[in-house]
Amino acid sequence: MFRIAPYRRLLPLMLALAAFVAPLHGFAQPLKPVQVRELAQSLPSSRILFTETIYSAEGKSIGVETGTLDLQYPRFRVTRGALKIVGDGTSIWHYDTDTGEVMIFGGDVDALFGGSQLSSDAAHETFTLTLRDGSSIVYQIVQVETMETPWPEASFQLDVNALGEDVIVTDLRGK
């Protein structure tokens, strides 16, 4: 199974969402992190269904997955396979149910933006995130649903105490 570093797992989803709504706001590509943040701030509470195809630096397809992104800026919740990422605006919980590991990071979604580049292909309705190592992730937004009622704030926190004693929790917020 291909694994992307924890901070890199959320960045593509946020960028893909921003790329999806960017044409509605008249942004040219590629988008800068500040533009992604401004777009996310302008959206109502939303649930986004997506597919992603991960490619190695050599262009070989490594895998395809589907998932959901619940966004209520600055809060978010991503579910993709065994991965759950939850952010409440000040902390990010990265939970891999396959390995039984939780990593907690300090910061908000802005902490995730690095030197990656985003481009879009309107003809194929896809968005490609090229990472620093040359690998890439191609996203297709399948559906966007606007929520009529915002989620409670507690929906964007991971209760690690409820996960069980066998789950390994590494809290990196003070490091």
Q: Could you say which DSSP state residue 27 is in?
A: P
Q: Is residue 131 part of a domain?
A: yes
Q: Is residue 1 part of a domain?
A: no
Task: Tell me which residue range forms the domain holding 148.
Answer: 6-171
Number of domains comprising the chain = 1
Q: What is the pTM of this model?
A: 0.74
For residue 145, the model assigns a pLDDT of 84
- With cut-offs at 50, 70 and 90, classify the pLDDT of residue 55: very high
| Closest to 56 (Cα-Cα) out of 116, 137, 121 | 137
Please give the sequence-ordered ranges of beta strands (E in DSSP) within the chain, or none if there are none: 46-55, 61-72, 75-80, 83-87, 91-96, 101-106, 117-121, 126-130, 136-146, 168-171
For residue 102, the model assigns a pLDDT of 94
Q: What is the largest CA-CA distance in the chain?
A: 49
CATH code of the domain containing 67: 2.50.20.10
- With cut-offs at 50, 70 and 90, classify the pLDDT of residue 37: low
Q: Is residue 49 part of a domain?
A: yes
Q: Is residue 102 part of a domain?
A: yes
Q: Is residue 11 part of a domain?
A: yes
For residue 26, the model assigns a pLDDT of 40
